[in-house]
């Protein structure tokens, strides 16, 4: 099979490429990435020379470029990870989120229709369901939960999901959608909670916790997400949505304290800052469907996954220090400067 993986120079896409090349060496992977601020070619250096891997620098909104690539590669499967993915940036400037997340998804699916495809898989997010109240721990997101978004980011992802389902119903495109909870692991860009806190701890900088730190996220080790995605593209039913999550809910403040402890840093680094606008309170996935249909269960316990992640950031300082010392500094100043 030839599989186009978009957004493969980002966090989850790169981990997915490593997983696929290791588990399915018979397949060919073509990575398409625009290399935005979040895309990092050095992440892919260990697979660059492999004969069954190709990297193409391309914007998924570039219709001509995408069609040309489909003509050349005749892919069997497309897995779309490419997206603007950070909620805070979407609050600062929504426009590029609409462009990449919605228009880009449309371009990819038009190419799939034009050249034929066995499967188009859309990597969506649990954020399309909005949030759950803290005082109802009995509630979880199922695939039937109505879409009810809070941020420009999640709205753009929900818009893409609706378009994907419309292409299935109207044009018979063989699609699947997955909606995963918060991922953590190696190669996550340091603007996101866990790597930001690890990097700041290691640099003895303040740890900016939004609001009171009571918001709850359902954390999944990235490799478990990759495995679930692989199962869905091979055995998932066309036209279906699959939620992915490991019943691992944690409050932000508890994650930050845990990172302090693991790195031997004092909790006085924790600084409570102005809350995120429209901040979702709690995400919690019910993964019963993917478990029942595809036998998927998460394999990495949080205690083990977070330790592995912290160790990775400790041993790959060059990877993230290059990021935090560059353009990211301006972002950080804008986002946290007088918060
Ligand atoms: P990321 O920001 O780390 O990576 C996104 C990648 O997409 C980058 O390499 C970037 O260069 C590329 N990209 C952006 N715009 C592009 C364009 N127009 N054309 C081609 N490439 C482009 O994101 P991530 O955390 O790896 O998330 C990947 C996907 O998974 C996203 O679709 C996101 O919505 C979804 N998701 C993420 C999480 C999470 O916790 N990180 C959870 C659920 C779902
Ligand atoms: O500095 C911070 N301080 C803080 O308190 C940052 C960056 C975050 N937070 C809080 C906000 C959230 O409640 O931590 C929580 C996690 O924040 P993010 O890492 O920004 O993730 P989240 O907003 O939950 O969205 C993530 O999960 C779903 C991904 O970024 C999305 O791409 C994915 O779809």
Asked whether the beta carbons of 8 and 17 are under 8 A apart, the reply is: yes
d(CA 121, CA 233): 7
Q: What is the pLDDT of residue 251?
A: 98
pLDDT tens digit sequence for 66-106: 999 999 999 999 999 999 999 999 999 999 999 999 999 99
* Binding site membership of 252 for ligand 2 (Cβ less than 6 Å): yes
Q: Spot the catalytic one: 59, 84, 127, 223.
A: 127
Q: What is the pLDDT of residue 327?
A: 87
CA nearest ligand 1 atom 12, residue: 7
d(CA 210, CA 245): 23
* Ligand nearest to the Cα of 214, by number: 2
DSSP 239-284: TEEEEE--S-EEEHHHHHHHHHHHHT--GGGEEEEPPPTT---B--
Q: What is the pLDDT of residue 102?
A: 98
What's the pLDDT band for 41 if we cut at 50, 70, 90? very high
* Binding site membership of 185 for ligand 1 (Cβ less than 6 Å): no
Cβ atoms within 10 A of the Cβ of 277, count? 10
d(CA 254, CA 252): 5
What's the pLDDT band for 339 if we cut at 50, 70, 90? confident
- Report whether pLDDT(12) > 90: yes
* Binding site membership of 183 for ligand 2 (Cβ less than 6 Å): no
pLDDT tens digit sequence for 248-302: 999 999 999 999 999 999 999 999 999 999 999 999 999 999 999 999 999 999 9
118 catalytic per annotation: no
DSSP code, position 221: E
CA nearest ligand 2 atom 9, residue: 193
Tell which residue, 286, 204, 299, has the closest CA to residue 241: 286
Q: Where are the alpha helices (DSSP H) in 130-186?
A: 152-171
* Ligand nearest to the Cα of 86, by number: 2
153 catalytic per annotation: yes
pLDDT tens digit sequence for 201-258: 999 999 999 999 999 999 999 999 999 999 999 999 999 999 999 899 999 999 999 9
- How confident is the prediction for the chain on average, in pLDDT? 97
Q: What is the pLDDT of residue 326?
A: 86
Pairing of strands 77-80, 2-6: parallel
CATH of domain 2-185+220-246+278-300: 3.40.50.720
- For the chain, list the strands marked E by DSSP: 2-6, 28-33, 53-57, 77-80, 119-125, 175-180, 183-184, 207-210, 216-218, 220-221, 240-244, 249-251, 270-273
d(CA 32, CA 44): 12
d(CA 339, CA 289): 41
Asked whether the beta carbons of 300 and 185 are under 8 A apart, the reply is: no
Atom number, ligand 2, closest to the C-alpha of residue 215: 13
pLDDT tens digit sequence for 129-155: 999 999 999 999 999 999 999 999 999
């Amino acid at each position: 099979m030839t599989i186009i993986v978009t957004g493969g120079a980002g966090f989850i896409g790169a981990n997915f490429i490593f997983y696929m090349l290791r588990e399915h060496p018979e397949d060919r992977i073509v990575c398409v990435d625009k290399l935005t601020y979040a895309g990092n070619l050095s992440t892919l250096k260990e697979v660059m020379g492999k004969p069954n891997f190709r990297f193409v620098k391309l914007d998924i909104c570039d219709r001509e470029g995408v069609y040309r690539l489909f003509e050349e590669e005749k892919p069997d499967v497309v897995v779309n990870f490419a997206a603007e993915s950070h909620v805070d940036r979407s609050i600062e400037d929504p426009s590029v989120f609409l462009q990449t997340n919605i228009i880009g998804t449309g371009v990819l699916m038009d190419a799939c229709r034009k050249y034929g495809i066995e499967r188009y898989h859309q990597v969506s997010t649990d954020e399309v369901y909005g949030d759950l109240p803290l005082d109802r721990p009995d509630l979880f997101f199922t695939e039937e939960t109505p879409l009810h978004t809070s941020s420009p980011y999640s709205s753009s992802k929900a818009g893409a999901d609706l378009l994907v389902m419309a292409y299935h119903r109207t044009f018979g495109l063989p699609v699947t959608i997955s909606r995963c909870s918060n991922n953590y692991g190696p190669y996550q860009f340091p603007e996101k909670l866990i790597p930001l806190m690890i990097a700041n701890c290691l640099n003895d900088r303040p740890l900016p916790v939004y609001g009171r730190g009571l918001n709850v996220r359902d954390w999944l080790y990235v490799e478990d997400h990759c495995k679930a995605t692989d199962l869905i593209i091979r055995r998932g039913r066309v036209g279906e949505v699959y939620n992915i999550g490991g019943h691992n809910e944690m409050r932000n403040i508890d994650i930050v304290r845990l990172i302090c402890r693991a790195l031997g840093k004092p909790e006085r680094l924790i600084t409570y800052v102005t809350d995120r606008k429209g901040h979702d309170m709690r995400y919690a996935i019910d993964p019963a469907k993917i478990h029942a249909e595809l036998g998927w269960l998460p394999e990495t316990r949080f205690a083990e996954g977070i330790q592995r992640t912290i160790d990775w950031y400790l041993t790959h300082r060059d990877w993230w220090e290059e990021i935090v010392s560059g353009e990211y500094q301006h972002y950080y100043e804008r986002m946290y400067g007088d918060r």
